Structure 1
Amino acid sequence: MSTQALSSSMTTIPRPEYPRPDWQRTDWLNLNGVWSFRFDPDNEGISQTWHTKNEIAYDSEITVPFSWSSPLSGIGKDDKGIGWYRRSLQWKPSESDSRIFLRFGAVDYACDVWINGTHAGAHKGGYGTFEFDVTDAWAADRENMIVVRAEDYDNDYQARGKQGYGEIRGIWQPVWLEARPQAYVRDAKFVTSMDGRVEVTASVIAHEEGEAELSLSFAEGSIRHTEALKLTAGENKVTTSFIVNDPQLWSPETPHLYEGELRLSGGFGTDVVSTYFGIREIGTARFGDRGYRWITLNGKPVYLNGTLDQSYHPTGYFTYPSDEEMRDEIYLMKRLGLNFVRIHIKPEEPRKLYWADKLGILVMEDMPCFWGKPDETARVSYESEALEIIDRDYNHPSIFSWVMFNETWGLMSGEMTPGLTSDITKRTGYQPQTQEWVREKYRWAKQLDPTRIIEDNSPCNWDHVESDINTWHFYINGYDEVRAHVSEVVDKTFPGSDFNYIGGNVQSDAPLMNSECGNVWGIEGGAGDSDLAWHYRYMMNEFRRHDKMCGFVFTEFRDVTNEFNGYYRLDGSDKYFGYEAFVPGMTLADLHSPDFIVIDAPPSQTVHAGADVTVQLLRSSFSDRHHGQTLKVEWELWYDSLGTRRVADSGVIEEAWNGYGVAPIAPLTVRMPKQDAVAVLAIRLVNESGEALMRNFVTFDVRSGQANGVYDAEGGFVSIPAGDFSDQSFDHQWNAIQGAKVNGVRKGQFVYEVKLPDHAAQETIGSIEILFEASAKRVLARNVEGSKEQEIGVNYMHGAAANVEYNPNTYYMTDDEKHESRVHVLIDGERIGTFVLPDDPADSRGVLSWHYQPAAKQLDEAGSYGYLCKATVPGRLAAKLDRSRSVRLELQADEGGIALYGRNAGRYPIDLLIRYS
């Protein structure tokens, strides 16, 4: 086959690349693509010998490697039970005396394989990779029939993880044939040290005894090492080591990989495996006189800015359609300034881990949980799968931690209410004997892999037993509530404390970090699909003000089927946090900087116009990059005066940047503007080269106390509350945010009767301008039919789909999908202006819609805001109004509807304003 023809044929194969770039051979055949398929609901296939008969009527086709429940499989049926796969092909290795292996990335759950009617082997476990030596059954000179029987009944003892988002039934990772010589390297583990020492433990399988040579070559041959071996028939353990001079350390910032190969040669031929390693050390250490540890990477503290990744795709479910999409996942994380990801209760696909290695992001990898009770069957199943996972992924430098269990799932012998609780009566299902089994698994994992951080159980029920890191989960909304909660956890964390531990166990000096947080569950009925930008910013400040904390895991990377708290939509499209509107150039990445200025203040507070306000600042450093330098904290207090940006105050603080951790710096006292305004304290941390290292801000609702407000503009104002309309004609109309915001759905109008000052108060009126804040109005199902809360039980936690439009808290965060409208302004029936309202947005720019939320656990169109509209009344109409001093103001919306924002809602601190002069 020509190179061009080969390339053309490969493009038709899904996931055509070699599945294991960390352990790759060249003589192989990708078996992804179309297979014959048949369900076996009555379990009759074995008794009727479907594995031996070519004439069995396979009634459909399936695309491997996609789960039969997923759309990309071509089946798309989430049927529990048994599925049979068949494929016929002819293939022979390049070397005639090679051994042939049939390899599976993963099959859920129980799997049997036949080659030409001969049983090749069986495997149980939905996440581990496995292989069968099919040499004796394979015919090199004719077509061969491969038959796979996969059985998945969702048994309670199965390690399933959070598959409710999309089941991984049957074959769900790549399948391939691979040739090896009669002696080959089955696997090898690399243990690296910062001084360049690399220890290698390899397993060599030989079919007869003899002499061999194992050579290692990396970094284009600049690193070489050779071992002479005397092989016995069967498995041979080989231990060796070598030194890398001037080692280049792996980190998220510098993800250096030593790529190369292992070569086993002898009378049997040559086995060549392409592989790589990264030199890095993960640990924990005390610094200075602290009585607690931080997590370290290569001997230095590292602040872990992380996200929870369900690693779920809308069409492939837990199987990504392409290698490019897996690579792009890592780019999307790094684009946000994140340096680590927690793969949630499942191991990641090897190719995605390769991209984590290659592009540089740390990985916390969970073991998948079972959902039944921790009986002997479940324990054996779990242990088998956990061993496969750790063995398979051992060499990935990106993986820094193994998490053995999550939120005590599968560890309860009785019923338990899901979610964070300190009520001991709801935790009694976690029995002492099970706690000891968890301790055993923690120590077992440490023995298997002493190079990584091991966590016993990532807890939401204060129930650690023994762990290398002291983590906890919380889902709480509201600044005061989050601040109090985090402070309490920090205060109760110290060696010997029994807080966050169960069964008489107590804390060590293990590092404290959060391993799940967010406001997705911190609101009654769940947050639905709503803005997260406001909550996220103050939560980052709260974390970074505590010296004891060394990281967090935000829930989550992407939206999924029942949780909409992602940085991105499920399809990878952007959400807009709006931070750049407060500090030019600011993005989410600014909140993830290792060098950080904490603004120790509420995200917004009400202050008097002209008042002096003092704000405490702290510095937080988890990098030595700028230690020994003098950094500048540049700050300004600015406000938007009816569309014009004005600076009320500004200055610079010079700070000697020395040492790790958190410390106070000089507080700021700023003078507020002398008018109604949303004022912004914006800061930039700048290095000696003038580069901004991070940006941050807080806001103030500045109030003059005057009935019509005070604004920096000529003339006088008449202020009309948005809810004081005299008439309206919309399909649906309601008020929100304590009446400060009014909504009209689809085409209609609001009518206001306005009285201008009489002649005694204002002798003449020469000009009139109408100002208001408005957005389009996207109607949700709950706006028409009423709210409907979905029960948040175990099924929901498994990933049950939610109709988010019925959620009482839903108000879609600003994203790539726009909802446009137009509003026409009429004075006494004559149109004087038309404005395009590009969207119905909600994000951190809706300061007042956040500041005036009445309850932390309930969202009322939170973060929503509009666009400043200004319409000048023509002179001839102004002259008429000068005489009558009475105005009929109509705001007419097209099919996109309208929302009007009053003084205590939206982005601008105004009601409807009539400016006159």
Structure 2
Amino acid sequence: MGLKIRKGRVQSMLTPIQALPQTGIPRPEYPRPEWERADWLSLNGTWSFRLVPGETGQDELWQDQQEGEFDTRIVVPFSWVSPLSGVGRNEKGVGWYRRVVRWSPAQTESRLFLCFGAVDYSCDVWINGTHAGSHAGGYGSFEFEATGLWRTDSDNVIVVRAEDNDYSYQARGKQGYGELRGIWQPVWLEARRNNYVKAAAFATRIDGRVDVSAKIEAKQAGKAVLTFDFDGGAVHCSEELELSEGLNEVNVSFAVADPRLWSPETPFLYEGEVRLVSDTGEDAVSTYFGIREIGTALFDERKYRWITLNGKPVYLNGTLDQSYHPAGYFTYPTDQEMRDEIYLMKRLGLNFVRIHIKPEEPRKLYWADKLGILVMEDMPCFWGNPDETARASYEREAREVIERDINHPSIFSWVMFNETWGLKTDDKAPDQTRDWIPANRYLPETQQWVREIYRWAKQFDPTRLVEDNSPCNWDHVESDLNTWHFYKNGYEIVREHVDSIVDQTFPGSTFNYCDGYAQSDAPLMNSECGNVWGIEGGAGDSDVAWHYRYMLNEFRRHDKMCGFVFTEFRDVINEFNGYYRLNGTEKRFGYEWFVPGMTLADLHSPDFIVIDAPPCQTADAGSTVEVALLRSSFSDRHFGKTLHLSWELWFDHLGVRTVAEKGSVALDWNGYGVSPLAPLAVRLPEQDAVAVLAIRLLTQEGEVVTRNFTTFDVRNGKFDETAGRTGKAVSLPVGQFKHHSFPYQWNAIQGHKVNGGGEGKFEYEITLPDQAELRFLSNVEIYFEAGAKRLLARNVEGEVYTKADISFMHGADANTERNPNMYYMTDEERHESRIEVSIDGEPVELFLLPDDPADSRGVLSWHYQTAANKLEEAGSYGYLCKINVPGRIAAKLDRTRKLLLTIRADKGGVALYGRNAGRYPMDLLVRCE
């Protein structure tokens, strides 16, 4: 790709609107696969629409207007702000929807319901001019009975009024990424029998017992039979009932023989039907349940608990999922894309996801159930004061969400609040200029309300863990999980921080809790982490691979810690800390260069070898260093077996991979938790090198359990480029060029990297060994490390710090490319450049530089950063370029012993890496024999 200055990469990578299915009906699947009826009609698709900005709309009586009065069309179920809606107007106010529908239930005398996945925020519905009902709350599902209003033999007019004015009491979450306005989840019609099963909550135990709390709506009192059939009839239960008119609550229990337990590794679902047979006919619902138990437990002599799944410890390798789509915003265009979201998490070795500041769509939760990933689901926050109105609307909506999602086995935890958003009392709601931590108060009476909410949720759903508030301000009150947030950068800083947290975590400690409250023995885990906010002004788009590896090693050092939540799964508008780009394309972490076959999944193994060392250390050539190791196990898969720790110390010398030492250690693998292993002592190379200690944990059959590595910058004062060969070498720092002709030129990493942006050249005058040092030049080779140079807005316009505050979460422009810490991490999008190398004006070689990469392979560019909270082209590196100088030119050089080296780049530019930058510890090198 050619040079192109952009405000931000995300905008250039939006999923096109054409990605909608060609059937003409977006999202045609039944919206709730965990509670599905056969007789239904999707109302997704094109509706007539009119947007009335501001706090008006009902006075115009649009519910009585004819088709011609609606001035545009909208594609349901997409927010009227999103591109996929076809409207794309980010305006508050009232949206009026109109749809003409003709449909008859398959069976006469059925009851008909108009169902909404979610509408933000308040909603009124008319059917054939008669008001069918109202609802308030942007995330809960709801329905209105349409039986007496519906005409089965002619057209029906449905009109929906949706008002969204961002009132301070509304539960909104992080809608700044893309506003939810109006209908944003599927709409459908559904037929049911006069007596029908409204809901059924399954509570399972690992011994196979299943307790069901069912709700039955009866239009006609009388006898009925409630039947459960699952797993092809292997699980069957029938219960005779005496129904009264109205709502009936029924409790049923049955046992599953030889239960197959649900887990991320074995996500078995008992699929089947719930049927109600009464005088009004048979009502059937397709549903499923998973048998699993979530809990916490003390193990051995520990005084702190671990999180358990099915009675065993589980280490939660998780990520924060904003559930944001660039074209549909918080509504995914297709079911396949929701399924692929879960797949993309699992392929990284993750077993857990935190759905952030919003409940997830039921179909995505279905894929979490089906494919197997644990879910921590957040309640959305309001942004105003926690007054009576806000509390009442929050409580109503939280109940709706938990009632709807309670049957998903993937959900293991409810998070009731996040970072005290909406819990601090002030004179006004936060605006876009307010600091990250507003100067307002988390009052004792609000803390007590949060405690009541925690206890209500725990009583309502005792089968899951509940967290009061996921904190960044040390302000728990009562919680099943003792979590904390941190965004810090730098190995020593992260290490000291995590050590401090662990040391202050014990029963009775007042750390991380509000005044008057104290810790229990609840499990310790991190619920947000990453270097996105650990940098002054924010990290922009920069490499996360280096930071991620040492952070996970630090986590796994600690026996108390039960897991983490990495921010985040995909990049979003202002946070480019994702495993993937916003459009799902790959980032390249580069771990396979250090240990063949290594991926992110190796860092998420339940059986793990901790390298208790910095990500890179400076050491003397030829010295022996000792590397501390720990075993961390949260799985009993290999207990009682012998595993083998295989290791090798290797380095790359001018493109040749050389193994200096290797060995293997047998380990008796037993016991949960963290324990020390014997350290490894390795002897480093005798020359300047980036040396890699690569380890693999293997089964007796040779299966790789996990991989890990650490690095050393080995120094002896020179790059021993002539080891084993006769001759001399000349090394010239890359910053000592005689001349350049680039329109943009600057140096970085303390002058060890030089950049030329756009088309231009660097010229170097190099003096070769004279005849006294080397009588005859029989062979001349030139080596250097070079990458392409992508120009960013800050390179052209200058650096601008944007204050890192909460305004980004309300849609403020993050100006990513102007951020001084910005340097695109290696990914699928490449920035190529071609360079021509000349000696004394005569071309000798052409190189294609595939990219301007930055990831964990840029060891020296990371190791020689001067500040942990400011990044200077961190992780950037290039490609090894080697030139065998033709004999006719070598003959000339034999006479003159001088050369003019010219490196000319096309519009893709060039970056040259010196001794303390990139991945090769060398400057420009001319080797003469």
What is the TM-score normalised by the length of structure 2? 0.96
| Partner AA of 2:115 in structure 1 | R
Change (3 A) 1:244 1:847: same
| Partner AA of 1:481 in structure 2 | I
Change (3 A) 1:409 1:903: same
| C-alpha distance in structure 1 between counterparts of 2:353 and 2:437, whole Å | 33
Verify the 8 A CA contact 1:641 1:711 in the aligned structure 2.
no
Q: Which residue of 1 aligns with 2:510?
A: 498
- Note if 1:767 corresponds to 2:785: no
Verify the 8 A CA contact 1:675 1:710 in the aligned structure 2.
no
| C-alpha distance in structure 2 between counterparts of 1:771 and 1:659, whole Å | 51
- Note if 1:300 corresponds to 2:312: yes
Q: Which residue of 1 aligns with 2:448?
A: 436
Name the SS for the 2:233 alignment partner.
Answer: coil
- Note the C-alpha offset of 1:89: 1.2
- Note if 1:513 corresponds to 2:513: no
- Note the C-alpha offset of 1:791: 2.3
1:13-32 to 2 correspondences below 5 Å: 13-32=25-44
Change (3 A) 1:385 1:417: closer
Change (3 A) 1:538 1:85: same
Pick aligned residue for 2:104 from 92, 106, 113 = 92
| C-alpha distance in structure 2 between counterparts of 1:710 and 1:798, whole Å | 59
- Note the C-alpha offset of 1:466: 0.5
Pick aligned residue for 1:844 from 847, 856, 860 = 856
Verify the 8 A CA contact 1:416 1:426 in the aligned structure 2.
no
Verify the 8 A CA contact 1:417 1:426 in the aligned structure 2.
no
Q: Which residue of 2 aligns with 1:813?
A: 825
- Note the C-alpha offset of 1:500: 0.4
Verify the 8 A CA contact 1:635 1:684 in the aligned structure 2.
yes
1:780-859 to 2 correspondences below 5 Å: 780-859=792-871
Verify the 8 A CA contact 1:545 1:620 in the aligned structure 2.
yes
Q: Which residue of 2 aligns with 1:673?
A: 685
Change (3 A) 1:712 1:431: farther
- Note the C-alpha offset of 1:766: 1.1
Q: Which residue of 1 aligns with 2:286?
A: 274
1:690-705 to 2 correspondences below 5 Å: 690-705=702-717
Verify the 8 A CA contact 1:293 1:511 in the aligned structure 2.
yes
Name the SS for the 1:187 alignment partner.
Answer: strand
| Partner AA of 1:330 in structure 2 | I
- Note the C-alpha offset of 1:54: 2.4
Change (3 A) 1:426 1:80: closer
- Note if 1:220 corresponds to 2:232: yes
| C-alpha distance in structure 2 between counterparts of 1:150 and 1:286, whole Å | 50
Structure number with greater CO (CA < 8 Å, separation at least 6) is 2
Q: Which residue of 2 aligns with 1:457?
A: 469
| Partner AA of 2:273 in structure 1 | E
- Note the C-alpha offset of 1:714: 4.6
- Note the C-alpha offset of 1:895: 1.0
| C-alpha distance in structure 1 between counterparts of 2:799 and 2:907, whole Å | 23
1:589-628 to 2 correspondences below 5 Å: 589-628=601-640
1:365-392, Cα deviation, whole Å (9 max, x unpaired): 0000000010000000100000000000
| Partner AA of 2:205 in structure 1 | S
| C-alpha distance in structure 2 between counterparts of 1:781 and 1:93, whole Å | 59
Verify the 8 A CA contact 2:719 2:922 in the aligned structure 1.
no
Change (3 A) 1:712 1:436: farther
Name the SS for the 2:69 alignment partner.
Answer: coil
- Note the C-alpha offset of 1:796: 1.5
- Note if 1:660 corresponds to 2:672: yes
1:497-556, Cα deviation, whole Å (9 max, x unpaired): 011001221101000000000000000000000000000000000000000101000000
Verify the 8 A CA contact 1:416 1:429 in the aligned structure 2.
no
| C-alpha distance in structure 1 between counterparts of 2:869 and 2:919, whole Å | 22
Name the SS for the 2:893 alignment partner.
Answer: helix
Change (3 A) 1:669 1:181: same
Verify the 8 A CA contact 1:403 1:456 in the aligned structure 2.
yes
Q: Which residue of 2 aligns with 1:4?
A: none
| Partner AA of 2:456 in structure 1 | W
Change (3 A) 1:525 1:729: same
| Partner AA of 1:523 in structure 2 | I
Q: Which residue of 1 aligns with 2:81?
A: 69
Change (3 A) 1:415 1:521: farther
- Note the C-alpha offset of 1:425: 11
| Partner AA of 2:77 in structure 1 | P
| Partner AA of 1:662 in structure 2 | V
1:856-910, Cα deviation, whole Å (9 max, x unpaired): 0000000000000000111121111111111111111111100000000001001
- Note the C-alpha offset of 1:790: 1.6
Verify the 8 A CA contact 1:33 1:63 in the aligned structure 2.
yes
**Backbone CA RMSD of aligned residues:** 1.6
Q: Which residue of 2 aligns with 1:447?
A: 459
Q: Which residue of 2 aligns with 1:411?
A: 423
Judge which range, 782-791 or 563-572, deviates more.
782-791
Q: Which residue of 1 aligns with 2:8?
A: none
| Partner AA of 1:809 in structure 2 | N
Q: Which residue of 2 aligns with 1:374?
A: 386
- Note the C-alpha offset of 1:348: 0.2
| Partner AA of 2:448 in structure 1 | E
- Note the C-alpha offset of 1:709: 6.8
1:469-490, Cα deviation, whole Å (9 max, x unpaired): 1000000000000000000000
| C-alpha distance in structure 2 between counterparts of 1:49 and 1:804, whole Å | 45
Name the SS for the 1:40 alignment partner.
Answer: strand
| C-alpha distance in structure 2 between counterparts of 1:424 and 1:809, whole Å | 20
Verify the 8 A CA contact 2:760 2:904 in the aligned structure 1.
yes
Verify the 8 A CA contact 2:607 2:632 in the aligned structure 1.
yes
Pick aligned residue for 1:651 from 660, 663, 670 = 663
| C-alpha distance in structure 1 between counterparts of 2:780 and 2:563, whole Å | 55
- Note the C-alpha offset of 1:47: 2.9
Name the SS for the 1:220 alignment partner.
Answer: helix
Unaligned stretches of 5+ in structure 1? 1-7
Name the SS for the 2:216 alignment partner.
Answer: strand
Change (3 A) 1:753 1:235: same
| Partner AA of 2:653 in structure 1 | S
| C-alpha distance in structure 2 between counterparts of 1:506 and 1:48, whole Å | 55
Change (3 A) 1:847 1:42: closer
| C-alpha distance in structure 2 between counterparts of 1:901 and 1:711, whole Å | 22
Change (3 A) 1:148 1:436: same
| C-alpha distance in structure 2 between counterparts of 1:797 and 1:50, whole Å | 34
Change (3 A) 1:181 1:429: same
| C-alpha distance in structure 2 between counterparts of 1:475 and 1:179, whole Å | 50
Verify the 8 A CA contact 1:545 1:618 in the aligned structure 2.
yes
- Note if 1:396 corresponds to 2:416: no
Name the SS for the 1:750 alignment partner.
Answer: strand
1:617-649, Cα deviation, whole Å (9 max, x unpaired): 000000000000010110000000110000011
Count residues with an aligned counterpart: 906
- Note if 1:285 corresponds to 2:270: no
Unaligned stretches of 5+ in structure 2? 1-19
Q: Which residue of 1 aligns with 2:562?
A: 550
Verify the 8 A CA contact 2:687 2:719 in the aligned structure 1.
no
Verify the 8 A CA contact 1:464 1:500 in the aligned structure 2.
yes
| C-alpha distance in structure 2 between counterparts of 1:426 and 1:817, whole Å | 39
Pick aligned residue for 1:540 from 552, 566, 569 = 552
Name the SS for the 1:214 alignment partner.
Answer: strand
Q: Which residue of 2 aligns with 1:205?
A: 217
Change (3 A) 1:828 1:27: same
Q: Which residue of 2 aligns with 1:124?
A: 136
| C-alpha distance in structure 2 between counterparts of 1:406 and 1:369, whole Å | 7
Name the SS for the 2:228 alignment partner.
Answer: strand
Percent of residue pairs bearing the same amino acid type: 69
Q: Which residue of 1 aligns with 2:649?
A: 637
Name the SS for the 2:632 alignment partner.
Answer: strand
Pick aligned residue for 1:325 from 331, 337, 340 = 337
Q: Which residue of 1 aligns with 2:328?
A: 316
Verify the 8 A CA contact 1:10 1:16 in the aligned structure 2.
no
| C-alpha distance in structure 1 between counterparts of 2:665 and 2:439, whole Å | 50
- Note the C-alpha offset of 1:41: 3.0
- Note the C-alpha offset of 1:800: 2.6
1:674-689 to 2 correspondences below 5 Å: 674-689=686-701
- Note the C-alpha offset of 1:797: 3.0
| C-alpha distance in structure 1 between counterparts of 2:721 and 2:866, whole Å | 23
| C-alpha distance in structure 2 between counterparts of 1:449 and 1:662, whole Å | 32
Q: Which residue of 2 aligns with 1:870?
A: 882
- Note the C-alpha offset of 1:706: 3.1
| Partner AA of 1:145 in structure 2 | V
Q: Which residue of 1 aligns with 2:767?
A: 755
| C-alpha distance in structure 2 between counterparts of 1:553 and 1:655, whole Å | 30
Q: Which residue of 2 aligns with 1:717?
A: 729
Verify the 8 A CA contact 2:782 2:883 in the aligned structure 1.
yes
